[in-house]
Structure 1
Amino acid sequence: MDLNDRSIVLTGAGSGIGRALALQLAERSARLTLVGRRLEPLEAVAAEVGGRGGRAHVVTADLTVAGAPARVVAAAEEAFGGGLDVLVNNAGNVRAGRLESLEESEVLAQVALNLTAPILLTRAALPALRAGGEGLVVNVSSGIGLVALPFYATYAATKAGVAHFGDALRRELAGEGVRVLNVYPGATSTPMMDSSRAGAEHGFEYESAEDVAAATLAGIADGSLRVVRGGQRRRDAIVLDREDPAALDEVLAARKDALERAVATHSSL
């Protein structure tokens, strides 16, 4: 897909991977609808987008609120004279810790933003994406959606869920002019990770948001179905989890206590 001069809705655009995607897309003169909960970060990204040759329209929205997905799509179409080429479902949140220690509200918040919101936003955007004849949905999942980690039970469920949603939708839309790409970042240096103390000793190999964004755009350009990040250790874990999950259980059990301490405060809610 040629990303030049495309109308693109990008959620979670105020920081992290979303911001990096916006700035790299700006260099392709994209018409970006930047979506997030807070106005100031979105306006700052919009200014940077303009400085790099793109156009940006800011929409503040809580995507978990009824009616928000339809409002976002309508705002994007109005801002750039109709039409929508790409939807990037990037917004997400996390709350790590033992399942029984999480508040019910913390469980529901992750399900609502990480899973329900992208499904409903995609549903609202599909008519416009299909009308252009070359639409694209990008779902930003997580490496934890491929290899589930202890103390991330709810997060893993939502990220695996949005990935399977993407796979099912891709097959549902075959031959209808809309493609679906799933992206699985590993640990990424973003504000979402600021409250985590997990490092390489816990199996977390960090890369920059800019590298994840570049890999995502490369995957869009070459027609990939999946973009998997996280380094060799993640690739090895994916294979082990598929071929001998009990062996991976033993590996994770050996560092379980240290991991629990490292992620006990990890929350972006």
Structure 2
Amino acid sequence: MDLNNKRVLVTGGSSGIGFAIAEAMAGKGARLLIVGRREAELSAAAAKLSALGNKAEFVTGDVTVEADRRRILAEATAKLGGLDVLVNNAGAVRAARLELISEDDIRAMVEVNLVAPILFIRQALPLLREGGDGLIVNVTSAAALTGMPFYGAYAATKAGLARFGEALRRELKGEGIHVITVYPVATETPMMASSKAGADLGFGRESAADVGKAVVEGIEANAIEVSRGGEARAKAVALNRDNPLALDERFMGLKAALEEATRDHRSF
């Protein structure tokens, strides 16, 4: 897809990976509407994006609320004249032993990471069909490919979104709407600020800008997925498929340190 003048909506677009994707798209001439819950942050982000090309718009809203999703799509029609690309990036995470994670936090992850994107896509499909060249980008996580201790509920929501995107891509094939799934590794974002896990525990972090650039490259190449982490991540995914017990043993040696480093990791 050529992003020039494409009408793009990015959820969670004021910071982190969402902003980086929007920034990379702005450099390609996309017309942007970024979405989030904090007006001041959205306004500042939109101003930065506007300086790169077309005027970027913003709208506050909670993607887990049906009325907000409906209003956001109405704003896309009003401010952009329609919609060509929907980027589902808004996310939530809580890491810890399962019995230490509150039911409210588990339900919030399911709502933000899985239910909201599915319902948002369902509501956006009529707009995406109108242009005849639509695109859905779902940002999941490397945890969707390799389950890590203390991230069970989070991994479940991201794996669910990944398989949903795969199924939807096949459902919409030949109908003018493509679906791309993004699998970032640990990234330098506000979401990761409360995690103390570093490269020694398999959480070497890359920049959000690199993720944003890779997503745009994937879009331009009509890829079906964008998977980050390079050869090391690819080997871990292959090992998890071919010899999962070996990966179990690897995590066993890291478990105590990983639990300590991630027990306060929470972002909603």
| TM bracket (short chain) | over 0.9
Query: Once the 2 structures are TM-superposed, how far is the Cα of residue 130 of structure 1 from its aligned partner?
Result: 1.2
Cα deviation, 1:182-235, whole Å, max 9, x if unaligned, reads 000001011110100001111112100000000000000001101100232211
Query: Once the 2 structures are TM-superposed, how far is the Cα of residue 57 of structure 1 from its aligned partner?
Result: 1.4
Alignment of 1:217-236 (within 5 A): 217-236=216-235
State whether residues 13 and 42 of structure 1, in contact with CA within 8 Å, keep that contact through their aligned partners in structure 2: yes
Equivalent position of 1:168 in the other structure:
167
What fraction of aligned residue pairs are identical, expressed as a percent?
Answer: 53
Q: TM-score, normalised by structure 2?
A: 0.98
Equivalent position of 1:150 in the other structure:
149
State whether residues 84 and 128 of structure 1, in contact with CA within 8 Å, keep that contact through their aligned partners in structure 2: yes
The aligned length equals 268
Equivalent position of 2:8 in the other structure:
8
CA RMSD of aligned residues (A): 0.9
Equivalent position of 1:189 in the other structure:
188
| Separation in structure 2 between the aligned mates of residue 61 and residue 70 of structure 1, nearest angstrom | 10
| Separation in structure 2 between the aligned mates of residue 253 and residue 68 of structure 1, nearest angstrom | 43
State whether residues 140 and 183 of structure 1, in contact with CA within 8 Å, keep that contact through their aligned partners in structure 2: yes
| Separation in structure 1 between the aligned mates of residue 219 and residue 229 of structure 2, nearest angstrom | 18
Mean Cα displacement is larger for which, 22-31 or 222-231? Answer: 22-31
Is 1:87 the equivalent of 2:89? no
| Separation in structure 2 between the aligned mates of residue 132 and residue 138 of structure 1, nearest angstrom | 16
State whether residues 188 and 207 of structure 1, in contact with CA within 8 Å, keep that contact through their aligned partners in structure 2: yes
State whether residues 23 and 212 of structure 2, in contact with CA within 8 Å, keep that contact through their aligned partners in structure 1: no
Query: Once the 2 structures are TM-superposed, how far is the Cα of residue 127 of structure 1 from its aligned partner?
Result: 0.8
State whether residues 27 and 54 of structure 1, in contact with CA within 8 Å, keep that contact through their aligned partners in structure 2: no
Query: Once the 2 structures are TM-superposed, how far is the Cα of residue 53 of structure 1 from its aligned partner?
Result: 1.0
Equivalent position of 2:106 in the other structure:
107
Mean Cα displacement is larger for which, 212-221 or 54-63? Answer: 54-63
Amino acid across the alignment from 1:182: T
5+ residue gaps in structure 2? Answer: none
Any runs of at least 4 consecutive aligned residues in structure 1 with deviations exceeding 6 A, and if so which?
none
